[in-house]
């Protein structure tokens, strides 16, 4: 099965997304990490498509979605949440399960809590947080800011793929074909002919806001739906102590939290192998 590609105007931005599965099936929104694109979910979405309608957007400033002329304000969860609400309304999605990797999981947490937009109340049925939590490591954020804020450029695509293999080694096991797919779905060519990752370097402005967006405990404590946290065993972004804290408050205190540690991965599991697909599918089935 192959995805279909679409564009919509959402909150003043042209948004690209891929769609899998029949529109009559229960909806799943799958949102990627900081410097990635919606195509990261191709392997998982293909597995889910017989049972779900999967929507995989590119965040503004990434992939084929429009870039912002005002990155300081627009590259923020407040803007992303408004885009999400418009996207769901345009696609007539009243409720959706949410799968979010890193930044995409944090966005799902913001939307599900309804702190930014009360109109989200009741619209997120369940939440998969893939190596993201209400509190994240400052050291890991500094690492991400360093590589994402200054993306390298190379003369050839194979050179860029070598960079991706090193930078994203914590994603876990990837076949040569999967590395090629990751590279070819997240590469753009510069005016001088070189190639670079397909995102606006200004996306890191999100980390320089006057009012920091983390920690997100207030949003987490408001959640009242099933939540699964998948933490890479070697993650430098999420501390095990944070997972333990999640188990005692919010959905954890209500018996709605499931936690899974993913062996052989750091930040963040790529959701590209059967053992990880099965965890997600089992969780979605239990949350339906």
pLDDT tens digits, residue range 153-197? 999 999 999 999 999 999 999 999 999 999 999 999 999 999 999
Share of the chain above pLDDT 70, in %: 100
pLDDT tens digits, residue range 242-260? 999 999 999 999 999 999 9
Domain-located, residue 196: no
Domain-located, residue 164: no
Domain-located, residue 175: no
Residues in the chain: 288
Token couple for 215: 């920690």
Binning the chain into helix, strand and coil, the percentages to the nearest 5 are 40, 20, 40
Per the model's pLDDT, the better-predicted residue between 141 and 235 turns out to be: 235
Domain-located, residue 249: yes
Contact 81, 120 (CB under 8 A): yes
> How many domains does the structure of the chain reveal?
1
Residue 2 buriedness (CB in 10 A; 0-12 / 13-18 / 19+): exposed
Q: What is the pLDDT of residue 145?
A: 80
Token couple for 211: 């009012």
Domain-located, residue 178: no
CATH number of the domain bearing residue 25: 3.40.50.1820
pLDDT tens digits, residue range 257-284? 999 999 999 999 999 999 999 999 999 9
Q: What is the pLDDT of residue 142?
A: 86
| Helical segments of 25-116, H only | 42-48, 71-74, 77-90, 103-113
Q: What is the pLDDT of residue 143?
A: 84
Indicate the pTM of the whole model. Answer: 0.97
Q: What is the pLDDT of residue 148?
A: 86
Domain-located, residue 163: no
pLDDT tens digits, residue range 2-19? 899 999 999 999 999 999
pLDDT tens digits, residue range 104-152? 999 999 999 998 799 999 999 999 999 999 999 988 888 888 888 899 9
Task: Give the Cα separation of 183 and 36 in Å (integer).
Answer: 10
The residue range of the domain holding 282 is 4-150+201-287
Domain-located, residue 20: yes
Contact 29, 58 (CB under 8 A): no
Task: List the one residue out of 150, 148, 17, 19 whose CA is nearest residue 83.
Answer: 17
State the angle between helix axes of 77-90 and 103-113 in degrees (0 to 180), rounded to the nearest 10. 70
Q: What are phi and psi of 13, to 5 degrees?
A: -120, 145
Q: What is the pLDDT of residue 192?
A: 98
Domain-located, residue 182: no
Averaged pLDDT of the chain = 96
pLDDT tens digits, residue range 193-228? 999 999 999 999 999 888 889 999 999 999 999 999
């Amino acid at each position: 099965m192959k995805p279909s590609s679409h564009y919509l105007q959402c909150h003043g931005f042209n948004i690209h997304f891929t769609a899998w599965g029949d529109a009559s099936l229960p909806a799943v929104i799958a949102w990627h990490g900081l410097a990635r694109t919606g195509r990261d979910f191709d392997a998982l979405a293909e597995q889910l498509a017989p049972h779900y309608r999967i929507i995989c957007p590119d965040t503004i400033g990434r992939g084929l979605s429009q870039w912002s002329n005002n990155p300081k304000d627009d590259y923020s969860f407040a803007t992303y949440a408004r885009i999400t609400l418009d996207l769901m309304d345009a696609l007539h999605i009243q409720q959706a399960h949410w799968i979010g990797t890193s930044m995409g999981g944090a966005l799902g947490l913001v939307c599900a809590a309804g702190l930014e937009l009360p109109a989200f109340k009741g619209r997120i049925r369940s939440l998969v947080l893939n190596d993201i939590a209400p509190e994240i490591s400052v050291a890991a954020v500094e690492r991400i800011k360093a590589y994402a804020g200054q993306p390298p450029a190379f003369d050839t695509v194979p050179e860029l793929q070598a960079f991706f293999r090193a930078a994203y080694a914590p994603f876990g096991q990837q076949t040569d074909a999967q590395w090629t797919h990751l590279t070819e779905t997240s590469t753009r060519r510069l005016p001088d002919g070189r190639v670079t990752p397909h995102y606006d370097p200004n996306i890191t402005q999100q980390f320089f806001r006057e009012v920091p967006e983390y920690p997100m405990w207030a949003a987490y404590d408001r959640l009242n739906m099933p939540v699964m946290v998948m933490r890479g065993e070697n993650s430098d972004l999420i501390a095990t102590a944070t997972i333990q804290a999640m188990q005692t408050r919010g959905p954890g205190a209500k018996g709605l939290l499931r936690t899974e540690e993913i062996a052989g991965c750091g930040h963040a599991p790529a959701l590209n192998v059967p053992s990880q697909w099965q965890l997600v599918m089992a969780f979605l089935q239990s949350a339906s």
